Amino acid sequence: MTTLSEKMSDQSTRQVSKRVSQSVFDGSRLRVVLLVDVHDGAQQQFLEAYEQLCNQVAQVPGHVSDQLCQSIENPSQWLITSEWESAPPFLTWVNSEEHVRMVEPLHSCVRDTRSLRFHIVRETGSEPAEAASRRRLQASPRIGDGVIRHALTFTVKPGSEEKVAKILADYASPQARVDETTRLCRTSLFMHGNRVVRAIEVRGDLLAALRHVARQPEVRAVEEAINPYLEQERDLNDQESARVFFTRAALPAVHHVTADELAEGDRQALYYPARPDCGMRLAELLAQQDEAAAADPDSPVLRSTIFQRDDVVVRLIDVRPGVGARALLPEPGRQAALSTLLDGEPVGMDLVTDRRSPDA
């Protein structure tokens, strides 16, 4: 049977474009690092929960191996590392409802976690050269712009869209500076029907920025104001309720490309409803099209970020001024390739607010 990583492995044979600063589609192996802070006295409970979890994870397609380590200096600090055939199967699993249920036993004994994901670029080892050559490594390092891109998405109760849009448009911006190394650069918020997408750009530490935003009174007031209209109920005063909501709302960036031209443009967002189990493949196809557009001097695309989770795919695009979202919808010749993956027509989303910090 052909695995998801094998379907995408042909990407590793192509020359990595210098315009692409972020992508999960190059077919190289993935190393995931999870830093865990365990409650004092809960180490044995954590170990037992992990052993149950790792047996389940071993059955997930694309999983290669994992390792659990305990600090030699602080028994409350643990490190979990895992290797995956490539990024897509890991992201498909970690963003699934199965994962939410699978890790639930860990939360009662864990104080804090931090997840880091890396493509493997180079490695050394004692295995035979022939076996080592079959391992897919990232061909060359990517050069980024120092900006981390992330998004959240959720739905509101039908009929409440106008009220929610007003709440989300009228709030006061939070303080941009998080600490000496981290700051908020831009927040763009779009809606289509009852779906909300909030994209943020951060320089520095994304987790520190998200926690900073959550503590700001302006943002907290907005979150409380939209609570009655959410389709998925949450209690922000309940740590577990808030954690589950934001876990399900996470919409990771899977690809970012920038054209050679660095001019400022107009921000647009397109929503692509994917058929079940087709979201990752749809995102990959859009990534290929955006990479080609960035290399075309006649293309209106200046920058593009593709966000994907399950069957939700959103393409956030900066275009030359005056170009409407409809001009960015698939050309007739390319519509056929997308149509087999789509569960409805791609549509332009309505801009609710787009805010940039003064010195972003």
pLDDT profile of the chain (360 residues), mean per 10? 43 60 91 96 93 90 95 96 95 90 88 92 69 66 89 96 94 87 94 96 91 87 93 86 87 92 83 93 92 84 93 92 61 69 91 85
With residue 220 as reference, give the H or E element that holds it. Answer: helix 217-226
pLDDT at residue number 235: 87
pLDDT at residue number 2: 44
Residues 285-305, buried b or exposed e (16+ Cβ, 10 A)?
A: bbbebbbebbeeeebbbbbbb
- Record the pTM: 0.88
Of 2, 355, 347, 357, nearest to 187 by C-alpha is: 355
Cβ–Cβ under 8 Å, residues 89 and 30: no
pLDDT at residue number 4: 45
- What's the rounded Cα separation, in Å, for the pair 218 and 222? 7
Cβ–Cβ under 8 Å, residues 191 and 347: no
DSSP 156: B
pLDDT at residue number 118: 94
pLDDT at residue number 3: 46
Residues 342-351, buried b or exposed e (16+ Cβ, 10 A)?
A: beeebbbbeb
pLDDT at residue number 47: 94
- What's the rounded Cα separation, in Å, for the pair 28 and 302? 27
pLDDT at residue number 324: 58
Cβ–Cβ under 8 Å, residues 277 and 340: no
**In angstroms, what CA-CA distances link 217 with 115, 127, 281?**
27, 55, 39
- Give strand pairing partners of 318: 267, 303
How does DSSP assign 18-53, residue by residue? TTEEEES-S---EEEEEEEEEPTT-HHHHHHHHHHH
Instruction: Using the Cα atoms of residue 266, residue 315, residue 11 and residue 87 in order, give the sign of their dihedral.
Output: positive
